[in-house]
Amino acid sequence: MHILHTCSYVLAIAVYVSGSICVCSCRRSNDSKHFCFYQSTRDLQTILNILCILNELVSVGGGRRVGVLVSKGGTAILLQLLITTSKEWPPSEELMLQLHTILAKVGPKDRKFGIKARINGALNITVSLLKQNLQNHKLLLPCLQVLRVYSANSVNAVSLGKNGVVELLFKIIGPYSKKNTSILKVTLDTLAALLKSKANARRAVDRTYVPTLLAVYQDWHRNDTRHRHVHIRKAILGCIRNITNIKLGRKAFLEADGMRILYSTSTECLSVRTLDPLINTSSLIMRKCFPKNRLPVPTIRSVFHYQLPHIPAEGPVAQLYRQPPDVDDVVDESDDNDDTEADTENDTENEEDEKNHKTQNDDIETDISKLRPKENLTRPLEDLKMYECFFPELSENFQGYSFDSSKSCQTPAVLPKSLAPIVVPTAHAPSPLSLAQGELTDLPLDLDSICISKDGPGGAGGAGEGLAQELERVALEEDTLNGQSQSPVVGSLQGELEHDDDCSSHSSGELGVLEVPDTAALLPLHDPELYIDMVKGTKSVPQYTEVAYPDYFGHVAPTFREHILERVYGVQRAKIFQDIERMIHPNDILDKVVYDLDLKRSPVIDDGESLKFNSQFESGNLRKAVQVRKFEYDLILNSDINSNHYHQWFYFEVSGMRVGSSYRFNIINCEKVNSQFNYGMQVLMYSVQEAISGHPRWVRTGTEICYYKNHFSRSSIAAGGQKGKSYYTMTFTVTFQYRDDVCYFAYHYPYTYSTLKMHLQKLEALRTPQIYLRQDVLCETLGGNSCPLLTITAMPQSSSNDQICQFKNRPYVFLTARVHPGETNASWVMKGTLEFLMSPSPMAQSLRESYVFKIVPMLNPDGVINGNHRCSLSGEDLNRQWQRPSPDLHPTIFHTKGLLQYLSSIQRVPLVYCDYHGHSRKKNVFMYGCSIKETLWQTNVNAAACDLQEDLSYRTLPKILSQLAPAFSMASCSFVVEKSKESTARVVVWREIGVQKSYTMESTLCGCDQGKYKGLQIGTRELEEMGAQFCIALLRLKRLSSPLEFRNSSHFLDVENDLIESRCKVTSSTTYVLDEDEPSFMEEVDYSAESNDEPEPDPDPQETPADEDGLSDSELALRRS
């Protein structure tokens, strides 16, 4: 009775489906015929007939008919039928065959099929049917197909595993045979699905199925010579891949000689392009199973030690100091929780949850009170008084200054360039002064004592002595005694460059005697001698005495174009195979340390056989170099001081090269999951031979560049509580052109602190009587270096009241740069800005007459000097300290904020604030700003956003820039305030100081994908141009705000349209930013995915369109993009 009832429903569905087919102009069947069936469904035969019809109906017309069946509740009815028929009489083979055939079609179209099957108790029926019919191939196939759908559900997978299905499937898997390949394929797919459960993977390891699978794979590899069954071979690899997601599986794989097996089968496949999917999967498995190693360094903490005046109570540095000594040992691999049965009952059960789980960014600030201006100043007014001396322009009346002597370049007597640093009082140094600038030179400042009081032991205190000692050492080594002056040594390899006779006459005091390329005409702001002078005053933690040639000679931007590299297919795979060979053929590996800063006395190991490395100069970063093969070197970067990570910046010297050989360099401790090195960015190289022959320049260089996860990792404790973190390799290949060359490699165009000081001195020379330029020292850094502060505006035309009044009332523009030392591009942009501001052009003059510029061109001198990437000596990211900067740990931020707070306290809040940065993961130049409305739009607090009045002019400056500057992209800008950014300059200056136009300007390290520079890598010329265009944009901003021009330029303020555009766009969840400089990666490709422990399931190879000729997913995505 039951059955009949159910069957009538099935029939009803059959009728319905057939009806819809009729509508679809398939008129073979007629309704009355089906109606007859409806009346006579009384026995097994009838049910079979109905199922036959149903089967026929759903076999044609693609998936649409099945879709209808599913949407009408067909799945449940069919499953019910399966249950009842299996209960009421010994199951009819024919009925089971028909039912499973339909279920195999329905299952993949019903997202809840797995759950429904489990709830109805269908799993065991299929399983027992399988057990009884292992030899019955006709029935086996549909049953396996249904089982494959069951297994896709993780809860089902666990329960099926407990019922012995893994073992059952292994009975079906056999050696190579041309027969029954479809059954084998479905079996393998089902097995792969089951093995995603850790419990099942463990079961498979216990039953020693790993060597079995490897043997089966080899068998198919050997016999499938015409590659007819690539899908089966891929499916076997799929099983191995899932088993090796657990630690035991990886162990079993290694013990079964899996590395060698997959390596040799893969290399045999290399010549056949259609076998790429096999090679890619094999490579993924091998990388995963490659034993994790710790980096070959004694500790991942910085090799340089700097004792902080005090260690903050909490935060990353406190954590670092609390760590036990052997903390970076890789204790374990990623799946520590192997033994918990966490993967059992609640994995992907709730699809509803998944659906509701929108990709909401939980970093968006939703607390409106945190978006509203913060009124109360954190520092009392009396305290801010000390900054008055940095603003003499506000009180100056220019009496007695002769304005008509326009020819004389005489600096106004009241405005001397400050000679001695102003030491702003800090907690350690009680206020020595709040005096006018002119009196400074008379101050009884004992600079030495200040240095000592500020430097802890191990700091740069007593640098003079240290310098001399270092010099002596270097001088001895260099065999040039009597180095009486404190001249730093230029480079370290004079000997190798002495081929030039003119250079051999070492004059007594000069160590670095080289023919300096005559670039004065091309580089008006560069002066090698002045650079050396500047270096003498620069205090580094390692007490560097050498100067790198590129900084000494300078850089003349090349005139040729440097294109973003096209990625060559298969490069990453080839590199990974070379890495795997290290394990396969360990005897071919030299493993010879050739440079090691941990050997403090003699880091350079030179036996004439290997390349010679050096990084002991300002901004240098290279900790260790290991020669792996004759022409291959592993390089390890140094962590930021007082930190155990943040390495990305590199700058080092190489010599002793052979001409014409290709050298492979691998930086093996990169941290980011992806890099622009995967998207066409090259490293920079500077050849001293080229420089001497008249081309002192950094050029983009390197081939076979790629970036991928490697087999080095650190312990979870060292990684700050996160799971053990893998490192990434950035590899590049270089062929050197000159014999006896000295070459330098860098992450980006270097720009040292000494370079800044040299440029600032040279800027003085550009001063005209129209220009008001002041250079002050804002404060001293922890490392004892001064932090320069510039004031640039126009001199008043006369001392008349009107003129002085206009002078004093110019709005302020406040600019900062280089808080992150690795972002050297920020300094090049700043250089462009400064040179524009000092230029004699009418536009520059007009700009000077419009604003007073306050500029801190380098917020983090210590970080820059010591080759840090992100932090200052305090081991902290200074751009996360703006809310509560500490006067002794973050003096540059504390006092820069102080200047802004002072301006705010006297009602002179700047019109614009901008902090220049560099961006490592995006192309173009763009800005981040702050808008309450645009932030709230990201959330669901729309009601609140609508009430809110907000001045939209924060969009004007970026808009102008997008029209002016070819590298600038409005589409990449974002005006969202993120929680993680609440202590950055941009957000604090906006919220606490009240600067509406407060920005971060990010310049790409790579290149542009739009505008005039589309397809080109960025160079210093473009960066400097950007800095100049920023100035021009400010001038236009000024003109726009004057009523006369406003009318004519209203298109600039077409903000409403803009906003609508951007509002549509932001819902795509990609325009807002995830973390300061590295927003969520916007390009499709993610190479890290290839090596993830839980990779995405591969699409069924049979379903993959043929034109995608076996590229890996990531490479396909790359091709599409």
Active site amino acids? 1002
Binding positions for Zn ion, 1074-1093, rule CB under 5 A = 1077
Residues 174, 212: Cα–Cα separation, whole Å: 10
Q: What's the DSSP call for residue 1106?
A: G
Which residue number, 189 or 1077, has a Cβ lying nearer to Zn ion?
1077
Provide, rounded to whole angstroms, the least separation between the CB of residue 916 and Zn ion.
Answer: 9
Which residue number, 288 or 917, has a Cβ lying nearer to Zn ion?
917
Provide, rounded to whole angstroms, the least separation between the CB of residue 1080 and Zn ion.
Answer: 16
Q: Please report how the helices 44-59 and 64-71 are oriented relative to each other, as an axis angle in degrees rounded to 10.
A: 130
Provide, rounded to whole angstroms, the least separation between the CB of residue 1030 and Zn ion.
Answer: 16
Q: Please say whether the beta carbons of 922 and 1002 come within 8 A.
A: yes
Which residue number, 539 or 917, has a Cβ lying nearer to Zn ion?
917
Binding positions for Zn ion, 73-132, rule CB under 5 A = none
Which residue number, 316 or 528, has a Cβ lying nearer to Zn ion?
316
Q: Please report how the helices 198-206 and 230-243 are oriented relative to each other, as an axis angle in degrees rounded to 10.
A: 100
Stretch that binds Zn ion, among 286-294, 717-725, 822-830, 1016-1024 (CB under 5 A): 822-830
The size of the chain, in residues, is 1121
User: Rounded to the nearest 5 degrees, what angle is found at the Cα of 1015, between the Cα atoms of 1010 and 1019?
Assistant: 95
Which residue number, 437 or 825, has a Cβ lying nearer to Zn ion?
825
Closest CA to 398 of 385, 384, 412, 408: 412
Segments in 323-364 forming alpha helices (H): 351-356
Segments in 646-752 forming alpha helices (H): 688-692
Which residue number, 202 or 922, has a Cβ lying nearer to Zn ion?
922
Provide, rounded to whole angstroms, the least separation between the CB of residue 770 and Zn ion.
Answer: 34
Provide, rounded to whole angstroms, the least separation between the CB of residue 1044 and Zn ion.
Answer: 39
Chain centroid offset of residue 469 CA: 41
Stretch that binds Zn ion, among 189-197, 823-831, 1066-1074, 1108-1116 (CB under 5 A): 823-831
Which residue number, 330 or 871, has a Cβ lying nearer to Zn ion?
871
Residue located via tokens 């209808």: 68
Among 917, 921, 922, 959, binds Zn ion (CB under 5 A): 917
Residues 665, 1020: Cα–Cα separation, whole Å: 25
Residues 360, 1014: Cα–Cα separation, whole Å: 32
Which residue number, 461 or 861, has a Cβ lying nearer to Zn ion?
861
Token digits of residue 40: 């006579």
Stretch that binds Zn ion, among 557-565, 699-707, 857-865, 1073-1081 (CB under 5 A): 1073-1081
* Contact characters 529-568, Zn ion, x per CB under 5 A: ----------------------------------------
Stretch that binds Zn ion, among 365-373, 396-404, 829-837, 1071-1079 (CB under 5 A): 1071-1079
Question: What residue ranges in 848-888 does DSSP mark as E strands?
Answer: 852-856
Token digits of residue 183: 């059954």
Provide, rounded to whole angstroms, the least separation between the CB of residue 650 and Zn ion.
Answer: 17
Residues 117, 432: Cα–Cα separation, whole Å: 81
Stretch that binds Zn ion, among 359-367, 511-519, 637-645, 911-919 (CB under 5 A): 911-919
Provide, rounded to whole angstroms, the least separation between the CB of residue 917 and Zn ion.
Answer: 3
Q: Hey, is 670 helix, strand or coil?
A: strand
Q: Please report how the helices 44-59 and 31-39 are oriented relative to each other, as an axis angle in degrees rounded to 10.
A: 150
Provide, rounded to whole angstroms, the least separation between the CB of residue 870 and Zn ion.
Answer: 8
Residues 426, 309: Cα–Cα separation, whole Å: 12
Q: What's the DSSP call for residue 594?
A: E
Binding positions for Zn ion, 432-471, rule CB under 5 A = none
Which residue number, 572 or 825, has a Cβ lying nearer to Zn ion?
825
Stretch that binds Zn ion, among 371-379, 443-451, 533-541, 914-922 (CB under 5 A): 914-922
Provide, rounded to whole angstroms, the least separation between the CB of residue 826 and Zn ion.
Answer: 7
155 sits in which H/E element: helix 154-162
Which residue number, 105 or 981, has a Cβ lying nearer to Zn ion?
981
Among 820, 869, 880, 897, binds Zn ion (CB under 5 A): 820
Segments in 305-391 forming alpha helices (H): 316-322, 351-356, 381-384
Residues 648, 24: Cα–Cα separation, whole Å: 62
CA distances from 1046 to 651, 802, 810, 1041 (A): 48, 25, 19, 6
869 is an interface residue for Zn ion by CB under 5 A: no
Contacts 24+ apart (CB under 8 A), 13-16: 13/54, 13/69, 13/72, 13/74, 13/77, 14/50, 14/53, 14/54, 14/57, 16/68, 16/72
Which residue number, 741 or 823, has a Cβ lying nearer to Zn ion?
823
Residues 723, 715: Cα–Cα separation, whole Å: 7
Provide, rounded to whole angstroms, the least separation between the CB of residue 672 and Zn ion.
Answer: 13
Residues 672, 652: Cα–Cα separation, whole Å: 21
Buried b / exposed e along 353-391 (16+ C-beta atoms within 10 A): eeeeeeeebebbbbeeeebeebeeeeeeeebbebbebbb
Size of the site for Zn ion (CB under 5 A): 4
Residues 155, 345: Cα–Cα separation, whole Å: 6
Stretch that binds Zn ion, among 77-85, 273-281, 769-777, 913-921 (CB under 5 A): 913-921
Q: Please say whether the beta carbons of 1040 and 941 come within 8 A.
A: no
Which residue number, 642 or 827, has a Cβ lying nearer to Zn ion?
827
Provide, rounded to whole angstroms, the least separation between the CB of residue 1032 and Zn ion.
Answer: 24
Residues 723, 718: Cα–Cα separation, whole Å: 10
CA distances from 341 to 155, 167, 197, 198, 900 (A): 12, 20, 10, 8, 56
Provide, rounded to whole angstroms, the least separation between the CB of residue 674 and Zn ion.
Answer: 17
Q: Which single residue brings its beta carbon nearest to Zn ion?
A: 917
Which residue number, 254 or 1074, has a Cβ lying nearer to Zn ion?
1074
Stretch that binds Zn ion, among 345-353, 437-445, 462-470, 1069-1077 (CB under 5 A): 1069-1077
Closest CA to 227 of 170, 273, 196, 162: 273
Count of beta carbons in the 10 Å neighbourhood of residue 162: 14
Provide, rounded to whole angstroms, the least separation between the CB of residue 641 and Zn ion.
Answer: 18
Residues 296, 575: Cα–Cα separation, whole Å: 20
Stretch that binds Zn ion, among 322-330, 817-825, 1011-1019, 1078-1086 (CB under 5 A): 817-825
Binding positions for Zn ion, 751-780, rule CB under 5 A = none
Which residues here bind Zn ion, judged by CB under 5 A? Answer: 820, 823, 917, 1077
